[in-house]
Amino acid sequence: MFESIKDEELKNILIYLRPIVFTEYDRKYFESKEKKLRITIDSNLIFRKASILSIFSKIMPYKIIEFKFSLEDKDYCLPFLKKIPFRSTRMSKYINALNTLSII
């Protein structure tokens, strides 16, 4: 699996990595006609402990909307994004899973 990795120390670290949490969600994809802006909407988030799959969070009641575009398309996309009436924040499903499942 890690044959292409040259660094032996890195290879040894990767061999012992194990999953901590599993994140499940439904995702819808959208793209502008010009293909400069992509939007994903994630809903029905569920987090599970990898060590005990029967331990999981309830479905999280929020939706995550991500706007994706290249830096070269920034001038095209920003005027549109400024009109969106939502609070813009950074969010990590992984960190939310760790918090929700009381792992951290």
Domain count of the fold of the chain: 1
By residue range, what is the domain housing residue 34? 22-100
Q: Could you tell me the pTM of the whole model?
A: 0.76
Q: What is the pLDDT of residue 36?
A: 94
What are the residues whose beta carbons fall under 8 Å from the beta carbon of 69, sequence distance 6 or more?
Answer: 36, 37, 38, 76, 77
pLDDT mean by block of 10 residues, the chain; 104 residues? 70 82 95 94 93 84 91 91 84 90 88
Is 84 within the bounds of a domain? Answer: yes
Is 3 within the bounds of a domain? Answer: no
Is 94 within the bounds of a domain? Answer: yes
Is 32 within the bounds of a domain? Answer: yes
Is 37 within the bounds of a domain? Answer: yes
